[in-house]
Amino acid sequence: MKEQIKIGLAFVGLVVGAGFATGLEVIQYFMSFGLTGLWGIVLAGVIMAAAGAVILQLGCFFLAEEHHSVFRQIAHPVISRTLDIAVILTLFCIGFVMLAGAGSNLEQQFGLPTWIGSLIMVVLVATTGLLNVEKVSNIISGVTPLLILAVVTVFLYTLFNMPGDFGRLSELASAEASPVSPWWLSALNYVGLALILGVSMSLVIGGAHSSLRATMRGGLLGGTVYTILLAMLAFTMLANIEVVAGDDVPTLSLFESIHPVLALIMTFIIFLMIYNTAIGMFFALGKRVTASRPQRYVPVFFTLCAAGYGVSFVGFETLMTYVYPVLGYVGLAMVVLLVGWWVKERKKLSSEARRRERIRDLTEQREDPSQEFDEKHQAELEGALGESEADAARLEHVMTGELDLDRAISTQDPQTHDERSTT
């Protein structure tokens, strides 16, 4: 269960990014259709949970270390290459949209010109890209729980200050521009956008686990949590549409209406969420583009950051209006391909799930001195590893690592830990 929760929260952390934090996506894709947009959230939530579970399980099935290896095995070379290029373009597009969002965020709160906020962000991103980005990303990812807390807080505040006429608020919300219509297509487009943004890392997360059932359930859990957060934020935006309508960063406007101090806190939360997303996009893009020539990473990374900064001058809302829908349709096609392959090969996946459970049992038996493990067991283990759809050596490595971690946690001696900590 702990493994499923860990996977689910990791998935939520991927899809709840800076765009979600600003609140603008929620208004454009859902609340611009008024109360009808709430049905779009239900549709988006169901697909998000199902597709997230499929993507994570496929990553686990192939023990993926990067997204292209999965695309190559489930699609024609031309299609897999097209998807790879689409993901690369997505990384760049979301990257420069984040730079523009940083400018809008600081402009709305402090009145700074947008180019200054964007410049601060690009300098932070360019500097971080030369450091150990994994450690920095781990620190910044701790902001996600703060964002969740912020959404829950403003939702509860709205419940205690309910508006009287939702019909009128629905009409006001319907006046907001939507990049895609009707409501059901907008919901599908939004899911496609969120998943193409998170597919690369989701496959890698799935590939770091050996249990197909755990990754599936973790994906369902993560999709459900995300849907609840999306519904809470959407309802909050609708109930407060008079306050947030027309703003680039609606969430910030809403917190400002509650208390200026909360708005200041939210400014930095959003800025850190934007930073987290931006460094993830540009770093992954730099590594992917220079995969065959890693020694050229630094100049290529700086060039990409500079290009992103230049494009960001188009403006945050304009970029979201025109760039996001295109990415959403590409992402939707990708989801159809991945889910379609999963449906077609579900029997193979079920067989592999049972096989890995047996491999895990045998591996655990082998690693436990108190249990009997003879030549017959070893032959069965080798046979199961050989029959596995995944690389046998990597599967054994991942599974052994999981068992070592479980054993370390279960056998930890609190008294010994206390003695060491006082030494």
| Mean pLDDT of successive 10-residue stretches along the chain, which has 423 residues | 79 75 87 92 94 93 83 88 85 81 80 87 84 54 76 91 84 87 94 86 84 91 91 92 84 87 85 79 78 82 87 68 82 93 93 90 85 88 86 84 74 50 42
| Residue written as token pair 């023990």 | 63
Nearest to 229 by CA among 149, 301, 159: 149
Three-state SS for 83-139 is: HHHHHHHHHHHHHHHHHHHHHHHHHHHHCCCHHHHHHHHHHHHHHHCCCCHHHHHHH
| Residue written as token pair 């269960």 | 1
Backbone angles phi, psi at 295, to 5 degrees: -70, -15
Confidence at residue 61, expressed as pLDDT on a 0 to 100 scale: 93
Q: Model's pTM, two decimal places?
A: 0.81
Q: How far is CA 165 from CA 27, 54, 187, in A?
A: 18, 41, 25
Confidence at residue 315, expressed as pLDDT on a 0 to 100 scale: 63
- Domain boundaries along the sequence of the chain: 2-342, 348-410
Q: Any idea what DSSP says for residue 314?
A: G
Six token digits for residue 225:
């949590």
Six token digits for residue 220:
């369902």
Confidence at residue 131, expressed as pLDDT on a 0 to 100 scale: 65
Confidence at residue 139, expressed as pLDDT on a 0 to 100 scale: 57
Confidence at residue 53, expressed as pLDDT on a 0 to 100 scale: 94
Please give the Cα distance from 252 to 261 (Å, whole number).
11
Confidence at residue 49, expressed as pLDDT on a 0 to 100 scale: 93
Confidence at residue 136, expressed as pLDDT on a 0 to 100 scale: 53
Confidence at residue 422, expressed as pLDDT on a 0 to 100 scale: 44
Six token digits for residue 168:
């009128």
Determine the CATH number of domain 2-342: 1.20.1740.10
Chain centroid offset of residue 166 CA = 32
